[in-house]
Every structure is written in C-alpha cells, then in structure tokens.
C-alpha cells in the first residue's frame, strides 16, 4: 500500500513521492519510457567523467532474458519481484580508462541511479525498488 509521506521540511515532489513498492501493475513499459530512464541516469555526474555505470535490463515479456535476471535475485525478493514489468541489473566498471582503480565508481553509480529514480517517480509515474542479488552465475551469461 502506498505510504503516507511524512515531510518534516518542504522538499520537491520528485523526492517525497518516491517509495519502494512490492506490487506492480501488469502493464508493459514503452521502450521510449525505458530509454528515458537510462538517459536520466546518463546525465549524472561522475568522477573524471568516466560514467562507470552499466545496465542490463529485461522486460517481463523478454524471455529468456527476464528469466536470467530473475534467477539472480535472492529467494525473498523472488517472492514478489517477478511481477515487476522491468528488471534492471546495475553493473559498475571499477577501473578508469587509463587502468587505474576507480575509487568513485560506486558513488557514481549511486548518482546515476538517483537520476533514474527521480525520472521514474514524477515525469513517468513509475516506481522502482532496489534489490539484492543472490546468484552471480546467471549474471555472467548476461554480461558476455
Ligand atoms: C542498495 C539497496 C538495496 C536494497 N535491497 C532491497 C532488497 O533486497 N529487497 C527489498 O525488498 N528492498 C530493498 N531495498 C529497498 C529498501 O528496503 C527501501 O528503500 C527502504 O525500506 C525505504 O523505503 P522507501 O524506499 O519506500 O522509502 C534496497 C534499497 C537499497 C538502496
């Protein structure tokens, strides 16, 4: 159920309207809408402009790719996440273009996902929820 937000001090509706659901409408998301989410992520700041984020996504209708992503989830998340119309796996490149370790890569991924979430929340009226992964093996097939 949608929570009633407590807003201690005024914040933009982009922020106060975000929440993490565990139930989803059985409705496919338009390709253009999905691309807008990734475009928002792409606009994030990143150390040395390395843009170390990578995304693998599957719509519910994209078998077997969806099944491969779903297989990576923890058992607890599997109990409800299968109804989400879109699963997105985030991956981060931990080395810079010059081969040095990128100590800021996870920070940058967080910024990108912040943009992704904000784009989903108000302009597109979508909701997303971060999920832990359990299985790494099916991931390797997705990333090849
Ligand atoms: C990095 C990260 C990992 C998370 N992992 C899970 C998860 O595995 N399963 C889940 O149901 N929620 C997960 N969440 C969602 C949080 O539980 C949720 O954001 C938190 O309870 C606050 O609720 P709200 O997002 O509605 O404000 C995760 C959130 C983040 C940022």
- CB under 8 Å to 56, separation ≥6 — which residues? 69, 88, 89, 91, 142, 143
Nearest CA to ligand 1 atom 5: 131
For ligand 1, the distance from its centroid to the CA atom of residue 64, given in whole angstroms, is 26
**Could you write out the DSSP letters of every residue in 17-69?**
T----S---S-PPPHHHHHHHHHHHHTS--GGG---EEEEEEETTSTTHHHHH
- pLDDT tens digits, residue range 93-144? 999 999 999 999 999 999 999 999 999 998 777 888 888 888 777 677 777 6
Query: What whole-number distance in Å separates Cα of residue 94 and Cα of residue 2?
Result: 36
Can you give the pLDDT at residue 43?
Answer: 98
CATH number for the domain whose boundaries are 25-143: 3.40.109.10
Give the CB-side neighbour count of residue 22, counting CA atoms within 13 A. 8
For ligand 1, the distance from its centroid to the CA atom of residue 90, given in whole angstroms, is 15
Residue 119 contacts residue 36 (beta carbons within 8 Å) = yes
Where are the domains positioned within the chain?
A: 25-143
Task: Locate the ligand 1 atom nearest the alpha carbon of residue 77 and give its number.
Answer: 9
- Report if pTM > 0.75: yes
Nearest CA to ligand 1 atom 7: 131
Task: Locate the ligand 1 atom nearest the alpha carbon of residue 80 and give its number.
Answer: 11
Residue 127 contacts residue 21 (beta carbons within 8 Å) = yes
């Amino acid at each position: 159920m949608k929570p009633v937000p407590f807003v201690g001090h005024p914040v933009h509706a982009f922020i106060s309207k975000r929440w993490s659901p565990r139930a989803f409408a059985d409705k496919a998301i338009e390709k253009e809408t999905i691309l807008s989410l990734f475009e928002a992520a792409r606009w994030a700041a990143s150390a040395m402009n390395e843009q170390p984020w990578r995304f693998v996504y599957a719509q519910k209708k994209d078998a077997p790719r969806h099944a491969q992503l779903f297989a990576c989830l923890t058992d607890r998340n599997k109990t409800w996440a299968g109804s989400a119309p879109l699963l997105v796996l985030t991956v981060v490149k931990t080395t810079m273009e010059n081969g040095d370790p990128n100590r800021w890569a996870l920070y940058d991924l967080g910024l990108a996902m912040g943009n992704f979430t904000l784009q989903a929340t108000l302009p597109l009226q979508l909701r997303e929820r971060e999920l832990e992964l359990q299985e790494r093996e099916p991931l390797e097939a997705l990333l090849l």
